[in-house]
Amino acid sequence: MSIADDLRESVRQHVENACIIVNTDDIPERDQVKLAAEAVQVEATALSIDIRQFSGLTNAFGRQVVVRMLRAFFEGSVRIVEGSSGTVADFNGDGMIVLFAGADRTERAFRAASQIRWFLTEVLRPRFAKYFESDQFLKARIEEFDAGCGLDDGLVLIGRVGSEGFNDIAWVGRCVNTAAKACKLAGSSKPIIATHEVYERLDTSTFAGTVNWVPVDLITVGGVQREVIATSYVSKP
């Protein structure tokens, strides 16, 4: 059978064979997700984190310094995420997607976002600013090293994609896409942006009444408009 015939048969199977959905309350370990006609479905809060102006930072500081910044930022961020029982789903160069499952998932996701903001503004940037003490231009530009956070809640379908020799995990769901798009809107004055669904779930959490939210323009994801709000709230781990 030729490669063309193999490809036709592979597509036929994907089209005709139903996907088996396995519902769970927890984010599965990566090795538990099979390369088969099966996917794991879980209710989750998605947290998207993205470095602002990444290309500009590389031009200003150079590749080696930016790699050190990224290593410091993501090592600290992953430790904060793990401390809130979150699961890092994916890295995409200058950002990452994190998922939280369980009844208190949204509270833990928001706590992680606010702690990452604290880590960035109170630990990482001041330390690098001190490193550039002798170069006032670079010291000033260290303030540009910033990260936005986007949050949404919903169903996520988790499946393994690729071939036997090369494959990875796909995290499919509206909340993943919306969190990523909301994250793109985040800036220094509104670093954490969340959907109304996240806000409603936080309304019964320990954060109720302590976080100052401000309205943000509607965003459109997949042709659907979503209401989002923003905050600059930070909390120390």
State the 10-residue block means of pLDDT for the chain, 237 residues long: 84 83 92 87 97 69 77 94 96 91 97 96 87 71 83 96 89 94 86 94 87 88 88 94
Structure tokens at 193: 């942006």
Is the distance from CB of 214 to CB of 229 less than 8 angstroms? yes
Structure tokens at 2: 């030729």
Burial track 43-72 (b if 16+ CB lie within 10 A, e otherwise):
bbbbbbbbbbeeeebeebbeeebbeebbeb
Relative orientation angle of helices 54-61 and 63-83, to the nearest 10 degrees: 130
Residue 149: count of CB within 10 angstroms of its CB: 28
Is the distance from CB of 42 to CB of 155 less than 8 angstroms? yes
Give, in order, the Cα–Cα distances in Å from 120 to each of 30, 46, 178, 213: 28, 20, 23, 20
pTM of the model: 0.90
- For residue 87, the model assigns a pLDDT of 96
Identify the helix (H) or strand (E) that includes residue 160. Answer: strand 147-162
- For residue 144, the model assigns a pLDDT of 74
- For residue 57, the model assigns a pLDDT of 64
Structure tokens at 196: 């109304």
- For residue 79, the model assigns a pLDDT of 97
